[in-house]
Amino acid sequence: QKEVEQNSGPLSVPEGAIASLNCTYSDRGSQSFFWYRQYSGKSPELIMFIYSNGDKEDGRFTAQLNKASQYVSLLIRDSQPSDSATYLCAVNSLTTDSWGKLQFGAGTQVVVTP
């Protein structure tokens, strides 16, 4: 059973600080990694994707990937109250039995406090 693990939170972050979210995955065949943001009562929206080891920055978001450690993280700099949401980590594998389906973690709830 391929798994994607996240801390459920809530992760409480002061406004203006850096929020650090972690995700580990069990399938070494995983190739593509995604972060989704889900506001309460809404559907998930894709905010970041990363394929290669290292860092990828997009505005206030930075995704970090370490395939050797099977670890992907998301940093949110200068956190704003509008960043309060649940963040889902998703992993895509190339192994045939998974067909390329995304495996989702259960999500980490982030609460940015003014």
Partner 1 sequence: SQTIHQWPATLVQPVGSPLSLECTVEGTSNPNLYWYRQAAGRGLQLLFYSVGIGQISSEVPQNLSASRPQDRQFILSSKKLLLSDSGFYLCAWSTNYREDGYTFGSGTRLTVV
- List interacting residues with partner 1 (CB under 8 A): 31-32, 34, 36, 41-46, 49, 51, 88, 90, 92, 94, 100-102, 104-107
CA gap 114, 56 in Å, rounded? 27
A 10 A CB-CB count for 3 gives: 11
Rounded least distance, CB 12 to partner 1, Å: 18
CA gap 64, 51 in Å, rounded? 10
Rounded least distance, CB 43 to partner 1, Å: 4
Rounded least distance, CB 99 to partner 1, Å: 8
Strands (E) located in 26-107 = 30-38, 45-50, 54-58, 61-66, 71-76, 85-93, 102-104
Please say which residue, 99 or 114, places its beta carbon nearer to partner 1. 99
Please say which residue, 18 or 46, places its beta carbon nearer to partner 1. 46
Please say which residue, 44 or 74, places its beta carbon nearer to partner 1. 44
